[in-house]
Structure 1
Amino acid sequence: MPVTRSSMLAETQIHDILRNDRRRRVIEYLQESVGTVTLRELAESIACHECDADPAPRPLRESVYNSLHQTHLPKLDREGVVAYDEHRKTVALQPTAREVDRYMGVVTRYGVTWADYYRTFGTLALTLVVASELGAPVASALPALAWASVALFVLAASTAYQLWARRWAYLRSLVD
């Protein structure tokens, strides 16, 4: 069973965890929350997400609550991804969740998710455009339109590379 470089969780365990939508949603919700959340709060959020309605219908909320309590949270607790207190019905994210999180987004070969790359690049590009408009020493060497054009070109090239790399990986998987 292959083990990831920095982790205690094997890749097969991580893929097994992420195979279920509710388990993925548990991790996402806990990442957006601070500290411990209740099972009821978590179940209501996931039920609303599944039916795209707030509040979710009662039978769906109960179904989500039961499946989280009986199946998904105990599994995530056993794997060390969350700390689930069955008696208090509370859930908290564990540090091991970072290992799983890396697999939730598309990761480059450098260990950075494409989402992080695009977020960082977008912030940098916006900063350069605004700095150019404000006359900052280095940034004003080019007009804001030139910075924006360069940024859009790099964005298009990055997107093309990402699509090409994913398609190439898919084609290689068919051959293997």
Structure 2
Amino acid sequence: MSEIEIRYAKEQERSDHEHHVPTAGAMIGHITANLAMHALKIEQAALFAKGPAALFLDQYGRAWIQKELAFWDDINRALHAEADLVPTTSEELLKYSMLTENGATKYADGKDQLFELVKDFDMQLLFITRAIKLTEKEGHKAQNQLMKELYAWIKEQIGLTQSFLGHEPTEGLPSAAEDDGDDAE
């Protein structure tokens, strides 16, 4: 093996270890992977949704993508600054994303596509609240601040979209059933 292959193999060993511990960096790696995957899913819905959901996504979808990719960039830089591992390959993004995708979803009713995006936002909160606790524990202040900003932004998008769909803020969301009363802020 070449020196670069050896270094990458060591990085993969470290990554596996950190994901089993877990560390703040590993948890945040899931978040960046989720952001990248969610941006693709928003793009799909923005292109294929019909009806009122298409108008909603035309107004908000592009801004969501831009915001998620801006967070993705800022968070990756914060990971790198703390010497944490940064998922940078498509293989790593697919491995660490906890969001699922289905190409057939583009043919679903527009409101169903929009609600799938809301559920993905909600899934991201699970990892973000864990990352907030881990960054506090590990003293990673810049990462902690970014996690809190991302949490607040996602909660706002969930509320906005749920209102558009005629839902209560937590209606139909898995986190509402799992809420243990812990606040991330």
Q: Same fold (TM over 0.5)?
A: no
Answer with 1 or 2: which has the greater Rg: 1
Q: Give the structure with the higher percent helix.
A: 2
Q: Give the structure with the higher percent strand.
A: 1
Higher relative contact order (CA 8 A, sep 6+): 2
TM-score scaled by length of structure 2: 0.29
TM-score scaled by length of structure 1: 0.30
